[in-house]
Structure 1
């Protein structure tokens, strides 16, 4: 997935909330300047540069505030760009209580289904606030143990747990495009039980944990299909549910998946902040599999940020930890295996401009990968093909990409499809070679 698919800068978010293109915003700023008797030369390029980190001058900031109707009082003491308008997200401001979690789950279910925005909406201060609240607020699960509705049997809670396991395995094999409705339906049921059923403390804690699992899966599935804003909202709700369950390991898992979204859309430093927060929360109570997962995710973020030394330190830690036996590994860590760590290591090396080393890792992992991870297998085969192409081995690259293309016919994953599309663009200089012609014909037919 190209980093350009994500929009994280607050100015870009404010612009899109107002339905403005970069050209449109530039025109509004010029108009605001004219109304003050000042000619400004703001262009689309100016807006793009601001959205990529350049700070506009004081006069221009005043004009931008005028365009977005931001008062001087609102701006007072708040640095650029954090005073710009942002989405109204209850998951950021609802109290960190059991009741607050139920309210957020319900709101995200209602609005997340309709949210088609292809840009992220949590970054900077908003993301830091979310992470800090999760890390420092004491859960209040013990104070909310009774409802006003029917009792729930232990068998029903067990049945939901089995459905979650089945859904996780189905997502591994088929991708999230066809499963998101099922995940949301299960999450809706659990949310309703938490809000209305009479539950024991044990049942309530389990159901909050199940809500965290389901919201995390809903977030992953929506991210997998390019709906970044909705994905972040589900991840935020999942983090709250893990907090209400009193399960920091489960919250760390949520952050590990949310971090993939962040570094995939070009926000590696936010991804690293997520992982560091998770590592702090689980220190002294974690397991080797969880620690390996977090280290590997951190390595990916560091590779995206270009910090090779820190990336390889994190990879070495993940490699040392993975596979160490531990009786208390959480069931959701089933996928943290040596082939997955090798795949992530290969991806890091590819990001760091080491395609030959990346291909070695991809090849080792591919030989050990099981048949139950079709979506992941397709994704990494495409990355292997990219590594081969960067070494000018066009024939092998096209053969590997053809394998990935064959797997994509059986899954519904926009993320995987975007990766193969990116590979086809990289083939442009070689499009007249027989192997490239054959592959491109196959890609067009699918």
Structure 2
């Protein structure tokens, strides 16, 4: 439908007889931008079709066509190559309406995980594919690797747009049939990672419905080429979206169990540690103390095995500091603030600098402040709260801001304390 609309826009512009420069001026857009819309490199948006209607005096024809275009409903699309392209293409074409809340999105993620598992279950288990291809694909992977660092340091505000841009390029190349065989497989894996980054950044900006759709697309892309590691990685982030919503922690555990099942035999100890730690965090949300402790033991034991030459580079952030921070969050969730403080301190000692991961550092510092507050140590609570606020600085993250806002609410009844009062007055 969107391809036909692009074609109709192009034909109407040509039929008008206007040269590009004049048409762009009449439409109020840059010439290069409109060329990219017609060529499929930019989304067909409501503003763009309205500009075409105005410049071409078509009486709202294109606006009506866009409004009538049915969105691709991922649940109705088969899990095959054509289905992957349909879902990815609809997202690239601007299907960004957030129609789901956390709970509905959680149910949809569970459905996507089951389909991902079914597709991979039909494949023989094995080690990750060794993707090959031209230098262009190397550059795309390098940019996605850079975006992961941008997300760590600056938050998700700009990352969503940049990840969608990388996804758009990948979809264009896939549709062009320029690459075949292993190179095409590698391109699907790239598209899957771009979709995962778009999903995670949408969730970090408190847009669960949009995040769910990108997670679904990421799982489809990874399943299409048998990329178990990439798909399991996407599921681990989808699990965070689930356990961050009331009543959805059980779904998170299920997603992580699915991920762990399919990387068994092809993952590394670092992957095992990450999945076990996130399982512990999900279990802590259900009140399962023994299960949480067991999973944290598995995570620490896995990290003790050391690095492997074939560790996925996406796991650069998995270290003892991260595991202990997760352990602290879990202990706080389970009502053990003393253990939480111990784990947070161990985590801060293992990863003392906040420069590389200021967003997650801020979240953990805010939780450490909450733990100190529960132990009636207001001085320590304020010290950690101030460090958390300092970490946020230029970080654009609705999730981190919400964590700090929640801490402010907890500290508010203690404003007789000078440090607390000063912290609250900083805004």
Whether these two folds match at TM > 0.5 is: yes
What per-residue deviation string (whole Å, max 9, x for no partner) do you get for residues 332-358 of structure 1? 111111111011011100100111111
- Of the three residues 413, 416, 425, the one matched with 1:429 is 413
- Of the three residues 291, 298, 301, the one matched with 2:282 is 301
Residue 189 of structure 2 corresponds to residue 206 of structure 1: no
Q: Is the Cα–Cα contact under 8 Å of residues 175 and 375 in structure 1 kept in the other structure?
A: yes
Query: Which position in structure 2 is the counterpart of 1:243?
Result: 223
Aligned pairs for 1:393-408 within 5 A: 393-408=377-392
What is the distance in 2 between the residues matched to 1:129 and 1:386? 35
- Of the three residues 287, 294, 297, the one matched with 1:313 is 294
Task: Calculate the aligned-residue CA RMSD, in Å.
Answer: 2.1
Q: Is the Cα–Cα contact under 8 Å of residues 318 and 341 in structure 1 kept in the other structure?
A: yes
Task: Tell me the SS of whatever aligns to 2:105.
Answer: coil
Query: Which position in structure 2 is the counterpart of 1:260?
Result: 240
Q: Is the Cα–Cα contact under 8 Å of residues 139 and 244 in structure 1 kept in the other structure?
A: no
- Of the three residues 261, 268, 271, the one matched with 1:290 is 271
How many residues matched? 346
Aligned-pair CA distance for 1:287? 1.0
Aligned-pair CA distance for 1:435? 1.1
Query: Which position in structure 1 is the counterpart of 2:395?
Result: 411
Residue 340 of structure 2 corresponds to residue 358 of structure 1: yes
Aligned-pair CA distance for 1:179? 1.9
Aligned-pair CA distance for 1:120? 4.4
What per-residue deviation string (whole Å, max 9, x for no partner) do you get for residues 178-237 of structure 1? 221111111111111112232131211111111111111111101001001111111111
Aligned-pair CA distance for 1:427? 1.0
Query: Which position in structure 1 is the counterpart of 2:257?
Result: 276
Query: Which position in structure 2 is the counterpart of 1:134?
Result: 116
TM-score by length of 1: 0.74
Q: Is the Cα–Cα contact under 8 Å of residues 259 and 275 in structure 1 kept in the other structure?
A: yes
Aligned-pair CA distance for 1:127? 4.2
What per-residue deviation string (whole Å, max 9, x for no partner) do you get for residues 380-412 of structure 1? 111111111111111211111111111212200
Aligned-pair CA distance for 1:171? 0.5
- Of the three residues 83, 88, 107, the one matched with 1:105 is 88
What is the distance in 2 between the residues matched to 1:284 and 1:372? 31
The 4+ residue runs of structure 1 with deviation greater than 6 A are none
What per-residue deviation string (whole Å, max 9, x for no partner) do you get for residues 235-262 of structure 1? 1111111111211111110000000110
TM-score by length of 2: 0.77
Query: Which position in structure 2 is the counterpart of 1:345?
Result: 327
What is the distance in 1 between the residues matched to 2:91 and 2:344? 37
Q: Is the Cα–Cα contact under 8 Å of residues 248 and 282 in structure 1 kept in the other structure?
A: yes
What is the distance in 2 between the residues matched to 1:153 and 1:338? 35
Specify whether residues 138 and 405 from structure 1 end up closer, same or farther in structure 2 by C-alpha distance, changes over 3 A only.
closer
Specify whether residues 179 and 128 from structure 1 end up closer, same or farther in structure 2 by C-alpha distance, changes over 3 A only.
closer
Task: Tell me the SS of whatever aligns to 2:102.
Answer: coil
What is the distance in 2 between the residues matched to 1:127 and 1:408? 30
What per-residue deviation string (whole Å, max 9, x for no partner) do you get for residues 290-315 of structure 1? 11111011000100000011111011
Aligned-pair CA distance for 1:116? 7.0
Q: Is the Cα–Cα contact under 8 Å of residues 153 and 395 in structure 2 kept in the other structure?
A: yes
